[in-house]
C-alpha cells in the first residue's frame, strides 16, 4: 500500500479575522471557514482516513467536508445527535455512519476510516461503530475541501481543532 496523499495542518499559525490559532488550537467561530482548493490528491479512490483532535461547543455542524452545492465526496467529522455523536458520510450512494459518544466541550481524538470495504469511526481510540461500504471507489468531484463548514452556510462548526488535522489517502 503506498501513500498517495498526506496533508497535515499544524495548528500554530495566527490567521487573520475571526478564525485564529490560540494555544495551539484552531478556533472555529461558527461564521468563517478555511477553503482548500480541489486537487486530484483530495479525491481518494480506494481508502481514506480522516482524524483530528476536537473540542466542539456547538451541538451541530460539519467540521471537515469535501462537499458543496451538491458536489459531494466525504464529510467527517459532522456533529450530530445534539452534540453527542459523530457522522461519517461517503459517496457514491450516500453512505452514512452515525455513532454516539462525543462529549461536547471536551477534547477528544476522532477518526473516520474507510478501507474500501468498511467504514469505521473511533473516538479516543475506541471503535464506536462500523458499517459495510463496498464501493469500487469514492466519488470524485471538483468541490473544494472545507474546514469549519459543510455544504452550506448553515453547517458551520463552532469549537476548536487542536494539534493537527490529517487527511490521508492510501491506494
Separation of alpha carbons 67 and 105, rounded Å: 26
Question: φ and ψ at 117, to 5 degrees?
Answer: -125, -35
Nearest to 102 by CA among 54, 166, 164, 49: 54
Binned at pLDDT 50, 70 and 90, residue 165 comes out as: low
Least confident range of 9-23, 116-130, 156-170: 9-23
pLDDT digit string, tens, across residues 79-95? 999 999 999 999 998 99
Q: CB neighbours (10 Å) of residue 78?
A: 23
Contact 148, 32 (CB under 8 A): yes
CB-CB neighbours of 61 under 10 Å: 24
Nine cell digits for residue 4: 498517495
Contact 18, 32 (CB under 8 A): yes
**Model confidence over 7-55: pLDDT tens digits?**
444 333 333 444 444 457 888 999 989 999 998 888 888 889 998 899 9
pLDDT exceeds 80 at position 127: yes
pLDDT of residue 129: 98
Q: Which of 14, 69, 54 is nearest to 148 (CA)?
A: 54
Exposed, middle or buried: residue 145 (CB in 10 Å: 0-12, 13-18, 19+)?
A: buried
Percent of the chain at pLDDT above 70?
81
pTM: 0.82
The secondary structure of residue 61, as a DSSP letter, is E
pLDDT at 125 over 90: yes
Amino acid at each position: 500500500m503506498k501513500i498517495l496523499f498526506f496533508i497535515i495542518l499544524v495548528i500554530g499559525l495566527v490567521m487573520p479575522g475571526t478564525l485564529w490559532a490560540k494555544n495551539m488550537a484552531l478556533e472555529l467561530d461558527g461564521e468563517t471557514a478555511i477553503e482548500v482548493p480541489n486537487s486530484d490528491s483530495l479525491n481518494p479512490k480506494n481508502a481514506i482516513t480522516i482524524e483530528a483532535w476536537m473540542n466542539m461547543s456547538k451541538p451541530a455542524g460539519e467540521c471537515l467536508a469535501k462537499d458543496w452545492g451538491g458536489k459531494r465526496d466525504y464529510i467527517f467529522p459532522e456533529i450530530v445527535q445534539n452534540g453527542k455523536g459523530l457522522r461519517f458520510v461517503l459517496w457514491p450512494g450516500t453512505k452514512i455512519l452515525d455513532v454516539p459518544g462525543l462529549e461536547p466541550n471536551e477534547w477528544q481524538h476522532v477518526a473516520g476510516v474507510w478501507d474500501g470495504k468498511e467504514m469505521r469511526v473511533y473516538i479516543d481510540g475506541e471503535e464506536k461503530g462500523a458499517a459495510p461500504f463496498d464501493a469500487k471507489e469514492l466519488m470524485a468531484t471538483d468541490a473544494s475541501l472545507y474546514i469549519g463548514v459543510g455544504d452550506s452556510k448553515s453547517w458551520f462548526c463552532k469549537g476548536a481543532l487542536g494539534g493537527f488535522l490529517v487527511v490521508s489517502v492510501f491506494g
